[in-house]
Amino acid sequence: MFLASSLAPFLAMSPAQAETAYDFSLPDITGGMLALADYRGKAVLVVNTASYCGFTKQYEGLQALWDGYRDKGLIVLGVPSNDFGAQEPGAKAEIKEFCEVNFAINFPMSDKIRVKGQDAHPLYKWLEAETGKTPKWNFHKFLIGADGRALRDFSSLTKPQSKKLIHAVEAALPQN
């Protein structure tokens, strides 16, 4: 009984059963859980990140996006992953410190998870089922609408401040 109850937060609904991103939770980088249901009614940009990648400087743009749009209903959600080139080798405390010290990151971040393959987190399996896309490298971005539906993805090459990403974010923001 203890085992089942202690694992319950990690045993998310299967991607086939899920209707929206709100059906998933991720382990938080601070030790708790990030329930996407807490972001109901907001647009969410989910980005798989890595500390030692050529795209790591995108953290600056992600923080600027968060700063500029969070009051309008955008959540930037960083998802560290070691799936590509073993470029996120550290533990959650190291990742958190790296992001805070080097990029002043204060948007929500999950603990390190798998984002591709058979062992991918259920959220990423759902995103693949919804969009037909999987991350090909670090800093791949998925935009989820205020209704919890996956809208589209952006490759690692798409910078957070690109016009096409900004336009998509603005269109996805909740209508007040």
The candidate with the shortest Cα–Cα distance to 95, out of 151, 58, 65, 52, is: 52
53 carries an active-site annotation: yes
Q: Which domain holds residue 56?
A: 25-172
pLDDT attached to residue 4: 39
List the catalytic residue out of 13, 33, 53, 173: 53
Residue 1: inside a domain, yes or no? no
Which of 80, 65, 79 minimizes the C-alpha distance to 173? 65
The per-residue pLDDT for 19 is 85
pTM, two decimal places: 0.90
Q: Is residue 5 part of a domain?
A: no
SS3 at position 73: coil
- What is the number of structural domains in the chain? 1
Has residue 71 been placed in a domain?
yes
For residue 34, tell me if it sits in a domain: yes
CA distance 148 to 44: 8
In whole angstroms, what is the distance from residue 125 CA to residue 17 CA? 11
pLDDT (tens, 9 = 90+) of the chain, 176 residues, equals: 333 334 444 445 555 677 899 999 999 999 999 999 999 999 999 999 999 999 999 999 999 999 999 999 999 999 999 999 999 999 999 999 999 999 999 999 999 999 999 999 999 999 999 999 999 999 999 999 999 999 999 999 999 999 999 999 999 998 85
Q: Is residue 6 in a domain?
A: no
